[in-house]
Amino acid sequence: MFSVDLSSNKKIKSATRSRIAFHTLGCKLNFSETATISRDFDFEKYKHVDFSDIADIYVINTCSVTGNADKKFKSLVRKALKLNNKAFVAAVGCYAQLQPEELMSVEGVDLVLGANEKFMLSHYLNDLTKIEHGKIHSCDIEEVNNYVSSFSLNDRTRSFLKVQDGCDYKCTYCTIPRARGISRSDTLSNVVSNAVKIASNGIKEIVLTGVNIGDYGKGENGNKIHNHTFLDLVKNLDNVKSIERIRISSIEPNLLKNETIKFISKSKSFVPHFHIPLQSGSDYILKKMKRRYLTPLYADRVFKIKKYIPNACIGVDVIVGFPGESDEHFIKTYSFLNNLPISYLHVFIYSERLNTEALSMKNIVPIKIRNKRGKILRSLSIKKRRAFYETQLGKNTSILLEGENKKGYIHGFSDNYVKVRVPWDPSLINQIKAVRLDKIDDEGYVRYIEL
């Protein structure tokens, strides 16, 4: 195994500049990698434009988690070719690794790059002439064991910093191990160095991301031994004085150790916000999913967080409509979530994915019932978020305000992920303010009083 850093750029002289546009589907990890790939084009030969503008090259970083991402890809290709029917279209990322032939069959796609090849995109773009039959460059995923450092710098407010890639888990519904390969980690020194680079660009918040970041340390130096643990990573990043905020994107409950929770409760930089996948509140369904925990362990993690960090925001991923999920199993999930002191839900409707064990399972839940259950849990999420926000009113906290004007408002988040907004004021962009949370407005945002 070897580690590669593609953040440095080389100057290429050219009389003309090709216009290149990027679009990312899927997760924060994909965003970090798109940003890194795009920086390989920050030279004289290329001009970056928005995906909604006319470009010579359109690059789509694909996702394989849901069927909607597949449909979105086809829509994006049509949109790009409508803007410029002679544009060169490249597909990279997870779906490009899993189903390269399917992506290549989409009219107008010229190049498909898999898990390894996506980071060498610039090397494949010597000839931008559209051809009748596009080209596929996709490796055997079992041979992927290198690691590419990645982080985003596109957003002035926050950066997504990749610390880990791949997964050794075998969840029966998931395609990610086949799309990204084995679990492997960036070196601790690289992560800290990248965090310092991010902070030096004036970015106030870093979001740690990966496929299974609690597994951090595995494969750090080309072997399966943990040279460092996730707690080691947290402690070392907490010592970097230039970082103001660090947020953990998502961590498996069985890998979120009590020691980590206790450390974060006293941390200088890590914010009181956890996102912990559950997927089901039924132990029967969790076993069918081959998750590595049951509901008692999950509940223990949630209550441990609330014990040591009472103001912590806790988000939850949950899947509805998994094969074999009866009304009774769903009611167990609803009751389990309703009785936990969580703050919001990310609800996913189960969708069949090729080459997964769940695809061959019996007792398929009808789409109509899946959607109904999803709607019920999204209503529960609204209730939970409102209840959490109400517990925060009157409290002093810090907020980080973002750079987008959304219908005349500037938005931001408290350290514990309460979403705030006030009338648009560009002078507030990328500012951390000490405030008192005051009231919830008609659209569910929290207003504040500056201290």
Query: Tens of pLDDT along 282-293?
Result: 999 999 999 999
CA angle 193, 213, 273 (to 5 degrees): 90
Q: Which of 233, 148, 245 is nearest to 199 (CA)?
A: 245
Name the pLDDT band for 26 (thresholds 50, 70, 90): confident
Name the pLDDT band for 5 (thresholds 50, 70, 90): very low
Measured CA to CA in angstroms, residue 322 lies from 71, 210, 437 at distances of 21, 24, 39
Residue type, 308: Y
Q: Which of 39, 63, 62 is nearest to 153 (CA)?
A: 39
> What kind of fold does domain 146-271 have according to CATH?
Transcription Regulator spoIIAA (3.30.750)
Q: What is the DSSP string of 131-161?
A: -SS-EEE---GGG---EEE-B--S-SSEEEE
Q: Which CATH architecture best describes the domain 3-139?
A: 3-Layer(aba) Sandwich (3.40)
Name the pLDDT band for 65 (thresholds 50, 70, 90): confident
Q: What is the DSSP string of 92-143?
A: EEHHHHH-HHHHHTSTT--EEE-TTGGGGGGGG-S-----SS-EEE---GGG
The model's pTM is: 0.91
CATH class of 273-392: alpha beta
Name the pLDDT band for 305 (thresholds 50, 70, 90): very high
* 213/29 Cα distance (integer angstroms): 11
User: Contact, 418 vs 390, CB < 8 A?
Assistant: no
CATH class of 396-450: mainly beta
Helix residue ranges, H only, 188-343:
188-200, 230-238, 258-265, 283-289, 295-308, 327-338
Task: Tell me whether the CATH fold assigned to 146-271 matches the one assigned to 396-450.
Answer: no
User: Contact, 197 vs 178, CB < 8 A?
Assistant: no
Whats the size of the chain, residue-wise?
451
Q: What pLDDT was estimated at residue 52? A: 95
Name the pLDDT band for 1 (thresholds 50, 70, 90): very low
Q: What pLDDT was estimated at residue 44? A: 67
pLDDT, tens digit, 9 for 90 and up, residues 121-160: 988 887 777 766 778 887 777 777 789 999 998 777 899 9
Q: What pLDDT was estimated at residue 223? A: 67
pLDDT, tens digit, 9 for 90 and up, residues 204-220: 999 999 999 999 999 88
* 256/337 Cα distance (integer angstroms): 19
pLDDT, tens digit, 9 for 90 and up, residues 320-374: 999 999 999 999 999 999 999 999 999 999 999 988 999 999 999 999 999 999 9
Q: What pLDDT was estimated at residue 3? A: 43
* 393/374 Cα distance (integer angstroms): 29
Enclosing H/E stretch for 68 = helix 67-83
User: Domain segments of the chain: what residues?
Assistant: 3-139, 146-271, 273-392, 396-450
- What's the chain's average pLDDT? 91
Q: What pLDDT was estimated at residue 219? A: 87
State yes or no: pLDDT of 173 exceeds 70.
yes
Residue whose tokens read 């994006």 = 76
